Amino acid sequence: MSKLQQWFNSLETDRPFETCKVCTQLLPLAADSWVVNKHYHRSECIMEYAVCEKCRDSVSNRFSDPSKAAIRDFLETNIDWEQRLLDWMALEKPEQRLDNCVACRIPREKTEGFTLSAHFRQDGSLIDGALPLLMCSGCVATITASLSPESQKTWQEFVSEHFEGPDSDDINLGIF
Ligand SMILES: [Zn+2]
Ligand SMILES: [Zn+2]
């Protein structure tokens, strides 16, 4: 397994995620693809999960249209995707794409926290595209702040429904 892919193993099992956090089905049966999100605070992983495409869509569909537009707008305006993909292709090691925030480019060690996301296909291999990526908590907070209060509540409900422990207010948006 590549080092890049190892970042997205479950820390609990040290193996790839096997079930969707929401529908609890085995991932290859749940949908054609899934996303793994991990939230770190001061280099400690505070929340990690895999969510199948179907459940991810059902959560993000509960976001209002202006909120979806705000997320799209941030991703399009603050990230030079063409340049980023060129940068990533030029890396010596693929896992180096997680060394900096995809948007503001702050180095991972200098962040307060960050979110990692990767997209997997049904056979469990990584889909190489806009993901995998790392986004620093500052940039994620900017996106979260641009969401309508209802959409922020949708996200907080998702966290409190599916996770124990971390206060949902502390967990920045992870599905986009
Ligand atoms: Zn699911
Ligand atoms: Zn950033």
Euclidean distance between the first and the last CA atom of the chain, given in angstroms as a whole number: 26
Q: What percent of the chain has pLDDT over 70?
A: 93
Does 165 have pLDDT greater than 60? yes
Cα 26 to averaged position of ligand 1 atoms, centre (Å):
8
| Spacing, Cα 155 to ligand 1 middle (Å) | 16
pLDDT, tens digit (0-9, with 9 covering 90-100), for 131-153: 999 999 999 999 988 889 998 88
Distance from the alpha carbon of residue 70 to the mean position of ligand 2, in angstroms: 16
Q: Using the Cα atoms of residue 30, residue 132, residue 17 and residue 56 in order, give the sign of their dihedral.
A: negative
Return the ∠ at Cα 165 (arms to 163 and 171), rounded to 5°. 70
Determine the average pLDDT of the residues in 92-97: 97
Question: Above 90 in pLDDT, residue 34?
Answer: yes
Ligand 2 (single-atom ion) residues, CB below 5 Å:
101, 103-104, 136, 139
